[in-house]
A and B are shown apart, each in its own frame.
Chain A
Amino acid sequence: MEKVYKKNNEYISPLGISIDKIDFKYDDNILFRDFSVKFPPKNNTSILGNNGIGKSTLIKLISGIKEPNLGSIVDYNNNSIHNSITYMDQFDQLLPWLKIKNNITLGFKLRQENYSSEKFSYLTNILGLNEFLNSFPNQVSGGTKQRTALARTFIEDRPLVIMDEPFSSLDTNTKNKLIKLTKHLVKDKTLILVTHDIMEAIELSDQILILKGSPAKIFKIFSSEEILYYKKKDKMIIDLYNKILSILDL
């Protein structure tokens, strides 16, 4: 496997995820039964589906917040992925007692590790956070908070990025800027994104999964070839958008 990922001067492999025949029940509601899917390494996958289908539950299962009742979620080498994940959701989850700079490096504090100051500077520059580093979260705007959360996500030397509607609370302008930055930062990593925004999914993804039914099944997969085909012309992106929308509305 191609080795491109740098951690403490050691190269580690990009991560592919294999979800194999999982069952998950919440109260008496069966959300997943015999559910399997693969997330190839260095691939950006968006998960779309209607409300309550289980998209957020699926990424909570992948990130280890919830445990499946049956089945396994491992990497392509059958290893646990729990120390390989970095996570961001629609709420910035910044800690109000920490300055912006300390929120960014929280993960390193929780592991008693040193972070790369080069990477820190690069991220704070590219995300326009330099003037806010010594501010507290309640002193900055919603967009700045979400940019901080983005910096906290990408400063981690972890190969799998999971995002749960990361930009849903932002205005269109800020959202578009952050989507572009995410696209740039997520290179060489595996991204799993849950979103309601079809254009966001098209913009960021190599692969789009559409979940439907109860228990949830993969109703349709748009492969990278398919997405690339539609992305060739702007006009065709609208076709892809309408196609996804019509599937969701079915």
Chain B
Amino acid sequence: MINKISKNKIFNLLVSFLIIFCTLIFIWQIVIIFTGVPKYILPAPLEVFLEMKSKYQILFYHFKITLLEIILGIILGTLLGIIGALTIFLFKPARIWLLPLLVASQAIPVFAIAPLLVLWLGYGISSKVAMAILIIFFPITANFLDGLKNTRKDWIQLANIMSNKTQLSKYLILRHIHIPAALPSFGSGLRVAAAVAPIGAIVGEWVGSGSGLGYLMLQSNAKFQINLMFASLIVIIFTSLIIYFSIDQIIKILIRW
């Protein structure tokens, strides 16, 4: 039953996505026909798709690297976010020391940190993953912490009455009540993380990199390969959408309350 509902939802999502996509392509083509924009400013959709077809090997190579950066960023950023939220929730002194640090980390623009990360971690994948982690860490920590702190009081009271009131009880109440109760908030944070993780990876690639879709965009721009630049951009958009909607569906299936 649930699988059937999920399948229907995925089908509806794909249909609506296809309609939006075709409409945008149509508008794009209309703009070119009616404004006469030169090809080196805005190439026609068909030319971009032909470029994607002919350069698919190059695009796929760079796509794999960017995808890896984003996925690693999401996994590691989420893990660090969970650890951060649990540390702040469980240890009161951590609230005093970690919370200002967490807020300060968001006050600094990502673009300002990117050159430093490239300098410290090199031109490889690590600096891009670190960028993605930096962006993801805050929404995960803040949302999960919010969920942990706002667990319904009556559930906690009931659990306290039922427990043995030992040292272990605190851990068992955390595991069986606080954490599951906080999962919907955690899911919201993860959705935000999925949407912003590609920004971290692409910005990192722009600042200093030898591969990835962001790097390919810059290179094709410098070489005046506008079709390839647009092709890279479309792959980035599709990658971001697929990552976001996959995570969104996983959250909907796993966290149903």
Q: Which residues of A contact B173 (CB under 8 A)?
A: 110
Does A112 touch B at the CB level, under 8 Å? Answer: yes
Contact between A156 and B162 (Cβ–Cβ < 8 Å)? yes
Over the window 128-165 of chain B, the binary record of Cβ atoms lying under 8 Å from chain A Cβ atoms (1 yes, 0 no) is 00000000000000000000000000110111111111
Mostly, the B contact residues are helix
CB interface residues, A 38-61, toward B, < 8 Å: none
Question: Counting CB contacts under 8 A, is B169 at the interface?
Answer: yes
A63 at the interface (CB under 8 A from B): yes
B43 at the binding interface (Cβ < 8 Å): no
Q: What are 15 pairs between A and B in contact, CB < 8 Å?
A: A65-B160, A82-B161, A83-B165, A86-B161, A93-B154, A93-B158, A95-B177, A95-B181, A97-B180, A106-B159, A106-B176, A109-B172, A110-B172, A110-B173, A111-B172
Contact with A along B104-136 (1 / 0, CB 8 A): 000000000000000000000000000000000
- Chain A proximity of B147: nearest CB distance (Å): 12
B169/A82 in contact, CB under 8 A: no
Name the residue of chain A whose CB is nearest to the CB of B256.
A136
Does B183 sit within 8 A of A, measured CB to CB?
Answer: yes
Instruction: Please pick, from B155, B176, B257, the residue contacting A109 in the complex, using a CB distance under 8 A.
Output: B176
State whether the Cβ of B168 lies closer than 8 Å to any Cβ in chain A: yes
Once the chains are docked, how many angstroms separate the CA of A107 from the CA of B163?
Answer: 7
Q: Is A138 an interface residue (CB 8 A)?
A: yes
Q: Which residue of A lies closest to B183 (CB)?
A: A97
Which B154-212 residues have a C-beta within 8 angstroms of A? Answer: 154-155, 157-165, 168-169, 172-173, 176-177, 180-181, 183
Q: CA of A138 to CA of B158 in the docked complex: distance in angstroms?
A: 19
Q: Are B154 and A95 in contact (CB under 8 A)?
A: no
Q: Which residue of B lies closest to A112 (CB)?
A: B172
A213 in contact (CB, < 8 A)? no
Q: B157 contacts A83, CB within 8 Å?
A: no
CA distance in complex: A110, B163 (Å): 6
Contact, CB under 8 Å: A83 / B164:
yes
Q: Chain A binding site: helix, strand, loop or mixed by DSSP?
A: loop
Contact with B along A74-104 (1 / 0, CB 8 A): 0000000011011101010101110000000
Q: Which residues of B contact A142 (CB under 8 A)?
A: none
Total contacts A to B, CB within 8 angstroms?
Answer: 58
Chain A positions within 8 Å of B, measured between CB atoms, are: 63-65, 82-83, 85-87, 89, 91, 93, 95-97, 106-107, 109-112, 136, 138, 156
Report A-chain residues with C-beta under 8 Å of the C-beta of B183. Answer: 97
**Nearest CB in chain B: distance from A40 CB, A:** 22
Instruction: Write out the residue numbers on chain A whose beta carbons fall within 8 Å of the beta carbon of B169.
Output: 110-111
Expressed in whole angstroms, the minimum distance between the Cβ of A26 and any Cβ of chain B is 15
What residues of B have a CB within 8 angstroms of the CB of A109 in the complex?
Answer: 172, 176
State whether A85 and B164 are in contact (beta carbons under 8 Å apart), knowing that A109-B172, A109-B176 are contacts in the complex. no
Question: In the complex, what's the smallest C-beta–C-beta distance from B157 to chain A, in angstroms?
Answer: 5
A162 to B, closest residue via Cβ: B161
Q: A82-B165, A97-B183, A110-B169 are in contact. Are A64 and B176 (CB under 8 A)?
A: no
Q: Bound complex: CA of A91 vs CA of B153, how far in Å? A: 12
* 0 or 1 for each of B232-257: is its CB under 8 Å from A? (1 = yes): 00000000000000000000000111
Contact status A64-B160, CB under 8 Å: yes
Q: How far is the CB of A121 from chain B (nearest CB, A)?
A: 21
Q: Are B161 and A65 in contact, with the CB atoms below 8 A?
A: yes
Q: State in angstroms the CA–CA spacing of A238 and B255 once bound together.
A: 51
- Whether the pair B257, A110 counts as a contact (CB closer than 8 A) is no
Please indicate which of the listed interface residues B161, B173, B180, B257 has the most CB atoms of chain A within 10 Å of its own CB.
Answer: B161
Residue of A nearest to B166 (CB): A111
Q: Please indicate the chain B residues that have their CB under 8 angstroms from the CB of A156 in the complex.
A: 162
| Minimum Cβ distance to chain B for residue A66 (Å) | 10
